[in-house]
Amino acid sequence: MRFASLGSGSEGNALLIESSDGARTTRVLVDCGFGRREAERRLRAAGCEPDRLDAILVTHEHADHIGGVFRLARAHGVPVHLTHGTLRAAAAMLATLDDVEPLLRVFDSHAAFECASLRIEPVPVPHDAREPVQYVVDDGSRRLGVLTDLGQGTPHVVRALSRLDALVLECNHDEQLLAANPRYPQALKRRIAGPWGHLDNREAARILATIDRSRLHTVVAAHLSRHNNRPELAREALASVLRSDADAMIRVADQDSGIDWIAV
C-alpha cells in the first residue's frame, strides 16, 4: 500500500491511496476539495487516471473536502462512500443529488466495511460538521491512518489509531500565531481553536505521544494553515515526540503540491 497527498489545506484536500495484491490494484481517494478539472489534473500528475478510481471516501461536508466529490464521481462513475449525516448535510447545500444517487454508498460511522481489496475503518471525530469521520485503511498487512479536521483527540480516536504503519495527522495551527492573526475575527479564532475545530501543533503532538507507535514509521503533517502555522513549527512539535527518529519519519504535505507517493 502507498499514498500521496494531492494537496492539503483550507483551499482543498485530497489523499490518494493505492494497494496491489498482485491480482489487482485498488485506488481510493479520501475527499476531493478541488474542482473537477483541477482534481483530474492532480490525479494524473500522480499517475492515476480518474476513471481508475474504485471509490471516493468522504470525511465530512465542508467545501475544502467535498467541493469536487460529486462532479468527479459523476464524470467518471466512481462510487462515493459517506455517512448519513454527511449525505444529509450535502443534500441541504446542493440543489439535487439525483444524478449521482446510484453512486452513493452510505455507511455506519461505527462499523468497518470492505472497499475492493481494502478494509475501511471509519473513526468518528469531534468536528463542527453533521457526522464527520476520519479513516484507518487496512490492506491486510499494513495500516494507514488519516486524521485531519477534528478539535481534539478523544479516547476513541486514540484507540482507533493504535498500531498504524503510517499516519496523516492534522497540524492545522500554532496557538500563538492564530491568537495574533489580525485577519481572523475572534469568533473564527474560537471556532478553530475549540474542541470541535482543528488540531493545533501541540494537540497533534499529544495524540502522537499517546497512540501505540510500535509499528509507526511515517507521520505526515497535514492541513497546515497558510496564515496560522509554519512547516517548521509543525515538524518541531511532532519531533518532540519522535525524538531521534524524527528526521526520517516526518514529512509535511502542502496546499499546492501535496506530497509524493509514500510506501506504507
Q: What's the Cα-to-Cα distance from 95 to each of 62, 77, 91, 98, rounded to whole Å?
A: 16, 20, 7, 9
Lowest-confidence segment of 38-42, 83-87, 93-97 by average pLDDT: 93-97
Looking at residue 152, its amino acid is Q
pTM flag (> 0.95): yes
Q: What pLDDT does 245 receive?
A: 84
Given a cut of 90, whether residue 98 has pLDDT beyond it is no
Nearest-angstrom CA–CA distance, 158 and 227: 28
Indicate the pLDDT class of residue 97, thresholds 50, 70 and 90: confident
Looking at residue 93, its amino acid is M
Q: What pLDDT does 217 receive?
A: 97
Q: How many CB atoms lie within 10 A of CB 169?
A: 24
Given a cut of 90, whether residue 26 has pLDDT beyond it is yes
Task: Give the 3-state secondary structure of residue 131.
Answer: coil
**Domain boundaries along the sequence of the chain:** 2-263
Domain 2-263 class in CATH: alpha beta
Indicate the pLDDT class of residue 93, thresholds 50, 70 and 90: confident
What are the two backbone dihedrals, phi and then psi, of residue 131, each rounded to the nearest 5 degrees?
Answer: -150, 70
Nearest-angstrom CA–CA distance, 31 and 1: 18
What are the two backbone dihedrals, phi and then psi, of residue 19, each rounded to the nearest 5 degrees?
Answer: -140, 140
More confident: 5 or 21: 5
